[in-house]
């Protein structure tokens, strides 16, 4: 059975694993105060061209979203997100558990629209009763989005400007950030994110690590962020496990190499689908492909390959997702195409 | 520099690491739905002689404490713990962040006293105003305690009986459980814990894993425990990372082998301290040794070995902690003894 | 200036105030343990034809919603409400502050649709990933709704049946309940609510009291509800203030007398608007009237009467709200009509 | 049966009640935006000699403590209080429910000791692991304390200086503030509190109002305090009910007149106890008297008077509390003395 289920089905890229082995016997300070964490942070700051950025390592995505958002919001504020945003749909209410409302706006292929955002904020403050409502306190977006789509630099700049105008932090969830940065037609760099966002994270779990997300605050983290992380149960005793992995991921551009491989595999597969006349639910350039399958074709394919159910389109068609990753083999891609 | 700083200063035991490598390329379902998690759970149930136990894997200790405690308490209930309990002192208020008070009782070398507990509960319900107070909703204890001491079976049975009488769950934090189970004079088994506790965890982070704690609910977990775990940001996408490690730890008794090694090393070191006439702050039989050092001796030792500061005893003496672990080398122990 | 701004602009009905004065010097136990609270509860149980109901008095609406909802939900559950529901829009995130998501469904003139609710729940459990999402844990609706509309007995029965099917409590926010119960075309009684709901509140603040809401749990309140109320800062020291008021409100049917007066005044005003050719934004039979005003007419009227802004309809028209209450004078209604 | 049970057993002082009646029919804006609230705030600012103070009205004490404390703390901070502090003992965990730990220090007759406080803070920051602990974020004290004792100006100044040194807000719970301000030997004024504290509240519930506490932020309230109040369910729709009462309480010094009456009654009763040879558990000068009663005497007295149980002293003696208030009659005091 060949697998295109998601990008977190295998362990870690071999170079990441090797680094864990090599450093395994070294006694190192806990909680992230070790030289691998330090070195990984330094490499990330370099990759971001942002020497003053504050970098922290957390274990997983929902944890990171909950911790970062709670660290930035005042109690009476909520976080604005697209209705399709991960924090709104698939995090078991982690944001609300931390006391904050997710204020949703309609999405366009997973994306927040800058002018819709602006109109919402204008409307909020124009409402004479807004003191009785949850204040929009920050903006959450993901890049790539849940639909594998990308913001352009122009769009992100527009959103960032709205945030600045309302003095609200902009947070970008980069669970799959690598796959965005190396995609065709992408025009955003890590340095751009540092310039336009107040905080974002570089996802490790879905880009070749066993686990781990690198949170980047370009202008510095909230006061006592480490204590906040601990309070959320998110501070790893063996912080080295995260530091060593990100040290490997950001050595010789491995993070981008992994991403390019996955996107190249996805591009090949996309081409295969296109050639065979399949239609796409959303046009993507990243490592996720959303295809409309006739139900019988879906059943047939599911006997040879694993992929993700997305949604029912109509009585005869289903949207499914194929995802590639660091471990995707070209032979598997070709095998799948040959079966289409 | 030889290191006795703590039991989480190195990576993972080589057999754990090897298992991660061997299984690395297998595509597996996320969130703990993989065969290694299943197998590890099965092995743990066997080690516990408790076939109906529910086992879940979480990443770290504070996270586990917060999630388990929040999953069991009603909103108006708090958790009773020794003043020295980890949840009361070194978890950055994670329990309160989840909405619950830690109700503290005095400790005796880190231990809760069954009769003090009973007296407290009697007093609570005797107070006519107790409807205005936080209700004691569960009992938290750690084994070994923060002071490396152990509960006897008799003591734990007495505490368990108090809990049953008041219909309160008993929770045992086993961050270093292995070191308790193999210690001289220990008379508690995993099966005893299953019989006496409502939930406990088998610590992995401090007993040879990169990370990971195995939560055991002998009589079944709270409804939707997985969703609660997710809500706390504690559900690992690559659940395999935990399953594979515990699968290795519970294969051929590796967990106990690691523990025995660490305790043997500690026993040797304890004997060395005793022979050289040092006095102990607390008498322990586990992998932690609390020694009273004359300050000049402390400074001298700190130039050759890493160990933990515990507390100032008086103007001239300090209590320090030496901890052993899976990675402690006999030659280092002997080297340290020769320097005493 | 005549006032139709809302139903909480004046103090308390004179008979309520008189009762506060008459009982003022009696020393009474605090926290609701006084004979007026007892008597008021008894009268409410009688009015509800539900002798086993548990009745509690809280101070205000948002407080009641927050406390009741938090007392019923498990941590991983949210409350399902119409998008227009008060808890979703005008309670400053009080529900999320208590840790729970408000799961919204589209509304029809403020009402939840039973089949839309049913479809949502079916969809939720059909989704293979629902363990990663917030579980629908209870249903919230208001009666009258935010739009002054009413559920029919048939509709409420249908919603109640959905709730029973999914074993979810049904909660009815009755901030303005009196105005519903006495309205033309209403076919729901307090006894019906006891039969169909798991909890509801009989609003006092908007129906003639200085403050106070009577929470009714027909089948008994959650364990230690009083402690939960205290924990929310919602337990009044002088509980008598609420007991005495509800004792007066439920003596000789004052609560219904007040409601009938307000609705009669609203009916007269509605007829006035209709006669003068105004159009209504929503058809209501309760004490709130939503009228579409041409903007110049609105400005003119606003010089002689106070009323509430609801929303902008188009460039030339605005929706405004006129509300009546216990203190509305017939002469004011006639005066207003004459000015239309 | 004569009553000395507490100071909140009767309704409101007649002048307060009269003012509620007089203003009852006036239609006024909700949520505190009415002229009585405005006037009451102005009078309080004058009484405080602090024209720039921000004043808000809340309903009850626990609510006020929860709302004020939550409005000032960062998520990783707790509130420092005496072990006997009301927030630590009798508020059902309202502070922890809002996510914050109550960090307790030993008390001396209900009071925090400035040097113990200073030592605690020094120790906290000296601990190398303090990043893993709850940070002391503000100081809570009550005046009078739970034991009816008072801080001297010197003591409060010392505590205030410690707070300034560590940049922590000082919060004073004035549930019974009136009884402190008019007591013999008291040397603190409202103006002093404005100078020394960052926030305090002037208790209404226990000093002649039906309900209500006036929160004073001498240097301004936290951003969007009104929204925070709403979020806690603490914003009264008919804010007038609080405004009108405080307007009456601060007219012609009624608040102080009530307090003086109660303290004079307590002084007379104290003298009676002293003359008859009773001993006091604590020496107080406020409206609460803590007397040691021989158990048989206690039983005898309990047949003619209501008073509060405080604690068991030994097998034969009990500590009980007698409290006076605005409604205490001189004839009752004399009657009680004659029965001693």
Contact yes or no for B251/B91 (Cβ under 8 A): no
D110-131 per-position pLDDT tens digit: 999 999 999 999 999 999 999 9
Task: Looking at the structure, tell me whether residues A248 and A259 fall in a common domain.
Answer: no
D78 interfaces chain B, CB cutoff of 8 Å:
yes
Calculate the average pLDDT of chain D.
Answer: 97
The pLDDT, as a whole number, for residue D185 is: 87
- Torsion angle in degrees (nearest 10) through CA of C80, C82, C88, C89: 180
Residue of chain A whose alpha carbon sits nearest to that of C131? A92
Task: Looking at the structure, tell me whether residues D190 and D302 fall in a common domain.
Answer: no
- Residue C211's nearest CA partner among C186, C231, C238 is C238
Mean pLDDT over residues C149-165, rounded?
98
The pLDDT, as a whole number, for residue A66 is: 98
The pLDDT, as a whole number, for residue D215 is: 98
Residues of chain C with C-beta less than 8 angstroms from the C-beta of A129: 90
The minimal CB distance from D97 to the residues B75, B92, B93 is found for B75
Task: Looking at the structure, tell me whether residues A155 and A291 fall in a common domain.
Answer: no
CB contact under 8 A, B101 and D102: yes
- Torsion angle in degrees (nearest 10) through CA of C58, C63, C67, C73: 140
Nearest-angstrom CA–CA distance, B21 and B27: 13
Task: Looking at the structure, tell me whether residues D267 and D191 fall in a common domain.
Answer: no
A17-36 per-position pLDDT tens digit: 999 999 999 999 999 999 99
- In this structure, what are the phi and psi dihedrals at residue D241, rounded to the nearest 5 degrees? -60, -35
Nearest-angstrom CA–CA distance, C337 and D231: 38
Task: Looking at the structure, tell me whether residues C146 and C236 fall in a common domain.
Answer: yes
B70 interfaces chain C, CB cutoff of 8 Å:
yes
D28-86 per-position pLDDT tens digit: 999 999 999 999 999 999 999 999 999 999 999 999 999 999 999 999 999 999 999 99
First to last CA, chain D: 15
Q: What is the CATH number of the domain that holds A111?
A: 3.40.640.10
Apex CA A282: angle with CA A264 and CA A180, to 5°?
A: 40
- Determine whether B25 is exposed, middle or buried from the number of CB atoms within 10 Å of its CB (0-12, 13-18, 19+): exposed
Task: Looking at the structure, tell me whether residues C229 and C260 fall in a common domain.
Answer: no
The Cα-based distances of A283 to A145, A287, C238 in angstroms read: 12, 12, 64
The minimal CB distance from A231 to the residues D70, D75, D228 is found for D75
CB contact under 8 A, A134 and C101: no
ipTM of the complex: 0.97
CB contact under 8 A, B76 and C132: no
Contact yes or no for D86/D65 (Cβ under 8 A): yes
- Residue A288's nearest CA partner among A83, A144, A113, A91 is A144
The pLDDT, as a whole number, for residue B81 is: 98
Nearest-angstrom CA–CA distance, C235 and D262: 25
B210 interfaces chain A, CB cutoff of 8 Å:
yes
Task: Looking at the structure, tell me whether residues C240 and C313 fall in a common domain.
Answer: no
Task: Looking at the structure, tell me whether residues A127 and A248 fall in a common domain.
Answer: yes
Q: What is the pLDDT along chain B (340 residues), one digit of tens a residue?
A: 899 999 999 999 999 999 999 999 999 999 999 999 999 999 999 999 999 999 999 999 999 999 999 999 999 999 999 999 999 999 999 999 999 999 999 999 999 999 999 999 999 999 999 999 999 999 999 999 999 999 999 999 999 999 999 999 999 999 999 999 999 989 999 999 999 999 999 999 999 999 999 999 999 999 999 999 999 999 999 999 999 999 999 999 999 999 999 999 999 999 999 999 999 999 999 999 999 999 999 999 999 999 999 999 999 999 999 999 999 999 999 999 999 8
Residues 6+ apart with CB under 8 A from B156: B143, B188, B192, B196
Greatest alpha-carbon pair distance for chain B in Å reads 63
Residue D271: is its pLDDT beyond 90?
Answer: yes
A73 interfaces chain D, CB cutoff of 8 Å:
no
Greatest alpha-carbon pair distance for chain A in Å reads 63
The pLDDT, as a whole number, for residue A248 is: 98
Residue A170 tokens read as: 């902009």
D96 interfaces chain B, CB cutoff of 8 Å:
yes
Q: What is the DSSP-derived secondary structure letter of residue A111?
A: B
CB contact under 8 A, C92 and D241: no
The pLDDT, as a whole number, for residue A185 is: 87
The pLDDT, as a whole number, for residue B289 is: 98
Residue C1: is its pLDDT beyond 90?
Answer: no
CB contact under 8 A, C102 and A100: no
Half-sphere exposure of B19 (CA within 13 A, CB side): 24
The minimal CB distance from B76 to the residues D76, D93, D134 is found for D93
Banded pLDDT at D3 (limits 50, 70, 90):
very high
Quote the percentage of chain D above a pLDDT of 90: 99
* Residue whose tokens read 């909890």: C199
Burial profile D247-275: b = 16 or more Cβ within 10 angstroms, e = fewer? bbbbeeebbbbbbbbbbbbbbbbbebbee
Residue A107: is its pLDDT beyond 90?
Answer: yes
Nearest-angstrom CA–CA distance, D202 and D191: 12
Residue D1: is its pLDDT beyond 90?
Answer: no
Q: In D273-316, which ranges are E strands?
A: 279-280, 288-294, 305-306, 308-314
3-state SS, residue C102: strand
Q: What is the CATH number of the domain that holds C328?
A: 3.90.1150.10
* Residue whose tokens read 């509390």: D321
CB contact under 8 A, D24 and C8: no
Residue of chain D whose alpha carbon sits nearest to that of A230? D132
Residues of chain C with C-beta less than 8 angstroms from the C-beta of A90: 129, 132-133
CB contact under 8 A, C96 and A134: yes
Task: Looking at the structure, tell me whether residues D24 and D107 fall in a common domain.
Answer: yes
Chain C and chain D share a number of CB contacts under 8 A equal to 156
CB contact under 8 A, A100 and C93: yes
Question: Residues for chain D: how many in total?
Answer: 340
Residues 6+ apart with CB under 8 A from A213: A57, A58, A59, A60, A61, A64, A175, A201, A202, A203, A204, A205
C78 interfaces chain A, CB cutoff of 8 Å:
yes
Quote the percentage of chain A above a pLDDT of 90: 99
CB contact under 8 A, D93 and B102: no
Burial profile D228-239: b = 16 or more Cβ within 10 angstroms, e = fewer? bbbbbbbbbbbb
Residues of chain B with C-beta less than 8 angstroms from the C-beta of D134: 92-93, 96
Tell me whether strands B135-142 and A308-314 are parallel, antiparallel or unpaired.
Answer: unpaired
Half-sphere exposure of D47 (CA within 13 A, CB side): 23
The Cα-based distances of B260 to B150, B208, B255, B257, B325 in angstroms read: 16, 12, 9, 5, 9
Residue D134 tokens read as: 């709850």
In which region does residue B67 sit, left (phi positive, over 0), alpha (psi from -120 to 50) or beta (all else)? alpha
Nearest-angstrom CA–CA distance, D323 and C124: 57
Task: Looking at the structure, tell me whether residues C245 and C260 fall in a common domain.
Answer: no
Residue D144 tokens read as: 């009078």
Alpha helices (H) in chain C, listed in sequence order = 14-22, 35-47, 61-72, 86-89, 94-97, 114-126, 153-165, 177-181, 190-196, 225-231, 240-249, 254-275, 295-302, 330-339
CA distance D118 to chain C (A): 30
Residues of chain D with C-beta less than 8 angstroms from the C-beta of B76: 92-93
Strand partners, C317: C294, C314
Residues 6+ apart with CB under 8 A from D62: C230, C233, C235, D86, D91, D92, D94
Residues of chain A with C-beta less than 8 angstroms from the C-beta of D230: 131-132
Q: List chains adjacent to chain C, taking adjacency as at least 3 C-beta pairs closer than 8 Å.
A: A, B, D
Strand partners, B311: B319
Task: Looking at the structure, tell me whether residues D293 and D177 fall in a common domain.
Answer: no
CB contact under 8 A, B93 and D78: yes
3-state SS, residue C136: strand
CA distance C164 to chain A (A): 23
Q: Where among C233, C252, C271 does a domain terminate? A: C252
Contact yes or no for D197/D172 (Cβ under 8 A): yes
Strand partners, D294: D317
Calculate the average pLDDT of chain C.
Answer: 97
Chain B and chain D share a number of CB contacts under 8 A equal to 54
3-state SS, residue B86: helix
Residue B98 tokens read as: 């989840």
Burial profile D200-225: b = 16 or more Cβ within 10 angstroms, e = fewer? bbbbbbbbbbbbbbbbbbbeebbebb
Residue of chain C whose alpha carbon sits nearest to that of A97? C99
Q: In chain D, which ranges are E strands?
A: 2-3, 54-58, 77-82, 102-105, 135-142, 170-173, 199-203, 213-217, 279-280, 288-294, 305-306, 308-314, 317-323
Banded pLDDT at C185 (limits 50, 70, 90):
confident
Q: Which helix (H) or strand (E) holds B164?
A: helix B153-165
Mean pLDDT over residues A211-223, rounded?
98
CB contact under 8 A, B75 and C70: yes
Give how many domains chain C has, as a whole number. 2
The pLDDT, as a whole number, for residue B278 is: 96
CA distance D123 to chain C (A): 31
- Residue B68's nearest CA partner among B52, B83, B57 is B57
Residue D260 tokens read as: 């003086």
The pLDDT, as a whole number, for residue C74 is: 97
CA distance D294 to chain B (A): 20
Residues of chain C with C-beta less than 8 angstroms from the C-beta of B131: 224, 226-227, 230
Residue of chain C whose alpha carbon sits nearest to that of A75? C97
- Residue B209's nearest CA partner among B182, B173, B178, B180 is B178
Task: Looking at the structure, tell me whether residues C115 and C103 fall in a common domain.
Answer: yes
3-state SS, residue A61: helix
Contact yes or no for A37/A340 (Cβ under 8 A): no
Q: Where among B190, B224, B252 does a domain terminate? A: B252
Q: List chains adjacent to chain B, taking adjacency as at least 3 C-beta pairs closer than 8 Å.
A: A, C, D
The domain containing residue C198 runs over which residues? 14-252
Residue of chain A whose alpha carbon sits nearest to that of B94? A231
CB contact under 8 A, D67 and C233: yes
The minimal CB distance from C224 to the residues B70, B76, B235 is found for B76
Mean pLDDT over residues C310-321, rounded?
95
Q: Where among B252, B285, B320 does a domain terminate? A: B252
Residue A82: is its pLDDT beyond 90?
Answer: yes
Residue C105 tokens read as: 């469904």
Residue of chain A whose alpha carbon sits nearest to that of C128? A309
Contact yes or no for C112/C138 (Cβ under 8 A): no
Nearest-angstrom CA–CA distance, A9 and A25: 28
Mean pLDDT over residues A180-199, rounded?
97
Residue C238 tokens read as: 């002088």
């Amino acid at each position: 059975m060949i697998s295109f289920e998601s990008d977190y089905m295998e362990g870690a890229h071999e170079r990441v694993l090797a680094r864990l082995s090599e450093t395994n016997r070294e006694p190192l300070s806990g909680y992230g105060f070790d030289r691998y964490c330090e070195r990984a942070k330094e490499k990330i700051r370099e990759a971001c061209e942002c020497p003053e950025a504050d970098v922290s390592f957390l274990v997983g995505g929902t944890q990171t979203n909950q911790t970062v958002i709670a660290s930035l919001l005042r109690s009476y504020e909520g976080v604005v997100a697209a209705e399709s945003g991960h924090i709104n749909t698939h995090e078991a209410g982690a944001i609300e558990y931390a006391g904050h409302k997710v204020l949703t706006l309609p999405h366009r292929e997973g994306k927040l629209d800058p002018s819709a955002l602006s109109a919402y904020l204008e409307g909020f403050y124009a409402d004479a009763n807004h003191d009785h409502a949850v204040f929009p306190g920050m903006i959450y977006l993901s890049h790539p989005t849940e639909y594998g789509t990308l913001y352009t630099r122009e769009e992100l700049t527009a959103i960032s400007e709205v945030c600045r105008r309302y003095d609200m932090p902009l947070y970008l969830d980069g669970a799959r950030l690598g796959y965005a940065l190396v995609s065709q037609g992408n025009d955003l760099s890590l340095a751009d994110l540092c310039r336009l966002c107040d905080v974002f994270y570089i996802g490790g779990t879905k880009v070749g690590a066993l686990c781990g997300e690198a949170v980047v605050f370009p202008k510095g983290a909230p006061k006592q962020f480490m204590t906040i992380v601990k309070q959320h149960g998110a501070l790893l005793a063996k912080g080295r496990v995260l530091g060593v992995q990100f040290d490997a991921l950001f050595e010789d551009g491995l993070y981008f190499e992994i991403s390019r491989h996955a996107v190249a595999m996805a591009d090949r597969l996309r081409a295969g689908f296109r050639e065979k006349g399949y239609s796409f639910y959303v046009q993507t350039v990243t490592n996720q492909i959303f295809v409309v399958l006739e139900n019988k074709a879906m059943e047939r394919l599911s006997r040879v390959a694993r992929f993700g159910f997305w949604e029912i389109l109509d009585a005869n068609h289903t949207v499914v997702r194929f995802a590639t990753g660091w471990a995707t083999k070209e032979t598997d891609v070709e095998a799948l195409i040959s079966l289409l």
